[in-house]
Amino acid sequence: MGALCVLLSGGGNVTEKGIHTDFRNNMTYGEYLNLEQVLSSQTRLSGHHDEMLFIIIHQVSELWMKLILHELNTAIDLIDKDELPEAFKMLARVSRVQTQIIQAWDVLSTLTPAEYMEFRDHLGRASGFQSYQNRLIEFALGYKQPHIMKIYEKDPALAKELKAAYDAPGIYDVAINALHKNSFPINPELLNRDFSVTYKGDPTVAAAWLEVYRNVDQYWDLYQLAEKLVDIEDSHQQWRFRHMKTVERIIGFKTGTGGSSGVNYLKSVLDHRFFPELWDVRTKL
C-alpha cells in the first residue's frame, strides 16, 4: 500500500521525514513493477499518433485477462475441492475485473474510422481474434471450438498449454460435479465426459439447479455459486457486445485483419450460453 499511497499523493513537496529517497541498495517502485519493460513495449509500427491508443488498450486488456485467468483457475481448483466459500472471493474479483475490460471499449471507441485506416495495414494479419488469453478464458468457461487450436501451432509451448486447458474441465463442469457431491441425481455421463466438447445442457442439471433455487437456505453455497457464475457470464456477454459494437463503429462490416468476418462473427457468438441451466431456471421458478 505504501507505493500506492505515494502514487495517489500526486507528488508535490515531500515534507514527511520518513520518506525514503536513497535507493542505491533498495528496490524501487519501478523495478518492482518492471516498468522499464512494460512502458517500452508500445511500439508504433506506423508512427501514427492514434496507434498508441490501439496498442495500450489491447495490452491493458491482456493484463486484466491474465488476472481473470489467475482467479478463475484458482476458483476451479477450490470448487473441485469442495471449498466453495473460498472460491467466491475469486469469482467476485473476476466480475470486478470484467467491468474494467468492458469500459476499455469506451476508450477505444474514441478512435475514428479515418484514424484507424491510417495504421490498420501495419497490423498485417495480427488480430484480437488470436488472443490466446481470451481463448483460455473461454476454455475455463467451457466454450471450446476445435478450429481455434490451429492458430497457435506456431508456438509449440503455447499450443501445449492451450491443449491442456482445452481438454480440462471448465468451471461449470466442476459446478455440476458439486451438485453431484451434494447428492443431486446428475447424469453420470456428465461427470467423466470429454471436456473438450462444449457443454450443451442436461435435464438432470436443470432439475438440480431448480431445486437449489427453490430451497435457497438449504443449498446456500450452491445458490451463491450459481449467482456468481451468472454474474460472470452476464459480464462476459456485455464485453462481447461492446467489442462487437466498437468494431462496427470503427470498421463497419469489413473483414477482420485476422481473416474473420468481423462484426458478423462477433454477433454470432453473442447467442452462446456458457451455463444454460442457470438462465433457464429463471423461467421455471
The answer to whether 56 is a known ligand-binding residue is yes
Is 70 annotated to bind a ligand? Reply is no
On whether 243 is known to bind a ligand per the annotation, the reply is: yes
The reply, when asked if residue 249 is annotated as ligand binding, is no
- Whether 116 has a binding-site annotation, put simply, is yes
- Whether 199 has a binding-site annotation, put simply, is no
Report yes or no: 54 and 116 within 8 Å, Cβ to Cβ: yes
Report whether 148 belongs to an annotated binding site.
Answer: no
Would you say 147 is a known binding-site residue?
A: no
- 283 marked as binding residue: no
Indicate the annotated binding residues for heme: 243
Indicate the annotated binding residues: 54-58, 116, 120, 243, 257
Indicate the annotated binding residues for substrate: 54-58, 116, 120, 257
